[in-house]
Structure 1
Amino acid sequence: MDNGNMEMARLLLCLEYLSEEEEFLDMVACVSTCLSSYFVNHLYKEPCMTSYLTGEMWINELLSGHDKRCFNAFRMHQETFRHLCFDLENKYGLRPSYRMSVLEKVGLFVFVLSKGASNRDTQERFQHSGETVSRIFKEVLSAMDGFSRDLIVPKDPEFKDVPIQIGNDERYMPHFKNCIGAIDGTHIAITVPEEEQLRYRGRKGIPTTNVLAVCDFDLLFTYVLTGWEGSAHDSRIFLDTINNPALKFPKPPSGKYYLVDKGYPERDGYLTPYPKTRYHQSEFRGANPKGVQEIFNRAHS
């Protein structure tokens, strides 16, 4: 090999070496960038919720200050809030954690419900992360589920007594002496994924859940069933509820009945108004009812 060829061979070897070194350096730069990004996004967290007024401090301030402030924040008085916290902790398994007391957990939960607060608003108010807010809300909700099963029940499960609101009112006694309450449905606006909105969109034109509720003559709920989509008709929900033993609906004993409106099917134990006859109070517009059926319907409503 002459000198020219040898020089060319050396040049080619040098170029090949430099090319491999550049690839190596590029790879090092890429790995360094990835590691830096991972550190910033996953390892290093700049503190965000750093307010001096923590959620715990705010709760304590509300419970030690004027009762109206507590009611404005939680829609319940101080004594009621404390009783709720006590029951959830001692009867329904809600426990304090290392960073959060039962008072703060319940306060966070009630704050969301009473204000319709978003996760971000709740983060700022209680100085916790979005993940913590969601987790604590679900934790308290689970305890509240057990609480509601014991609370939302008939005071007299056998319905033996005539309600005093019936017995002491000549408009209803003795005609409604065997009535034990009223059943109706109500639509509550909800947020659902876009792909599920159609079946939750009912007569109100927005996504809702259709809730079946029963109340007594003290205007206390004795049964509540949630979860049905807004497009479901009241009668469908009603029939499924009374025919499904797993839902534990408090059925009326023989001779007793619930009042239901004209949207429900007529069944033994469930008294509907006369059809094709004025029923709602607004339909009478201050005028006296005409005939036996209108008299009954007005009293029924």
Structure 2
Amino acid sequence: MDNEQWNDEAYRKCRKIIVLAATACAIAANKYRKLYLSKDPYRGEALRGLVETERIIGVSDTTCRSLIRMSRRAFFSLAEMVRHRGFLYDSKFVTVEEQLVIYLHTIGHNAKNRVVLHQFGHSGETISRYFNRVLCAILQLHTELLKPPRSTTQPKKYLRYFNNCIGAIDGTHIPAWVSVDQHRRFRDRKGNISQNILAACDFDMRYTYILSGWEGSASDSRILDDAIHKEGEEKIVVPRD
């Protein structure tokens, strides 16, 4: 094969690669436009999410507690806290209050994405995005929301049964979403895919310690041992006389 033939072959291969790359870029651009730039509104009702939010937080404490597991006073205090610290902010169509209501309603009722998107009139991607945004904001407030007990005293009515007790500690299972190859590790004794969460609270029903991340198959004793032997802030504090 002489140089001229080799150059022609190389030119054809190069042109073929360019055509294929251009075609792939055009397909990707068209798909992106359909998904993100030319989206039709999920619901025809304008401001449906804002109206639903007002129905939940603007009526009474009974409604608020029933739907988002929080009083109106506590809710607005939380909204002011995350807004003041810059953790959350109003977007063009979704206020901080609506973002919090979406998150609290989801975790309070273990609601599915498809159920919440229908209730608030947003797409599944929008619901998921704001849920994760609020979750990150709440995690940043852990130093203020989780407080160690201020004393080791307990109410007198419990003194007879729980002398020198400062609170209670227990484990609970919450649903977990993991890859198929991890199902065996996260399957609990009831056959569900879950995490085993260790939590401690005082006599005022305030959480003083939470340890998450353990597989559902892990025993409570193993998790407690891990909490006791951790280092730094992740270690559970055991008062000693």
Q: Deviations over 1:192-240 (max 9, x none)?
A: 3322211101212211110011122233221111111101122221222
Cα gap change, 1:254 to 1:61, in 2 (>3 Å): closer
Identity, in percent, stands at 33
Cα contact 2:227–2:236 (8 A) shared by 1: no
Q: 2:235 aligns with which of 249, 271, 280?
A: 249
Cα gap change, 1:249 to 1:75, in 2 (>3 Å): same
Q: Corresponding residue for 1:279?
A: none
Pairwise mapping of residues 26-45 of structure 1 onto structure 2 (< 5 A)?
Answer: 38=30, 41-42=34-35, 44-45=38-39
RMSD (Å) for aligned C-alpha atoms = 2.6
SS of equivalent residue, structure 1 residue 188: strand
Q: 1:201 aligns with which of 182, 187, 193?
A: 187
Pairwise mapping of residues 73-84 of structure 1 onto structure 2 (< 5 A)?
Answer: 73-84=67-78
Q: Deviations over 1:231-288 (max 9, x none)?
A: 1122221222221114433422331xxxxxxxxxxxxxxxxxxxxxxxxxxxxxxxxx
Q: Which amino acid aligns with 1:170?
A: R
Q: Which amino acid aligns with 1:251?
A: V
SS of equivalent residue, structure 1 residue 186: strand
How many Å separate the matches in 1 of 2:52 and 2:123?
Answer: 17
Q: Corresponding residue for 1:234?
A: 220
Cα gap change, 1:201 to 1:122, in 2 (>3 Å): same
Structure possessing the higher radius of gyration over alpha carbons: 1
Q: Corresponding residue for 1:50?
A: 44
Deviation at 1:94, TM superposition (A): 1.8
Q: Corresponding residue for 2:141?
A: 147
What TM-score results when the alignment is normalised by the length of structure 2? 0.77
* Over 6 Å off, 4+ runs: none
Cα contact 1:189–1:209 (8 A) shared by 2: yes
How many Å separate the matches in 1 of 2:62 and 2:134?
Answer: 24
Cα contact 1:92–1:147 (8 A) shared by 2: no
Asked if residue 215 in structure 1 is aligned to residue 190 in structure 2, the reply is: no
Q: Corresponding residue for 2:97?
A: 103
Cα gap change, 1:247 to 1:106, in 2 (>3 Å): same
Cα gap change, 1:197 to 1:247, in 2 (>3 Å): farther
Cα contact 1:188–1:211 (8 A) shared by 2: yes
Q: Corresponding residue for 1:169?
A: 159
Q: Corresponding residue for 2:15?
A: none
What TM-score results when the alignment is normalised by the length of structure 1? 0.63
In the alignment of these two chains, the number of paired residues is 214
SS of equivalent residue, structure 2 residue 178: coil
Q: Which amino acid aligns with 1:240?
A: D
Please, which runs of 5 or more residues in structure 2 have no aligned partner?
Answer: 1-22
Q: Which amino acid aligns with 2:126?
A: T
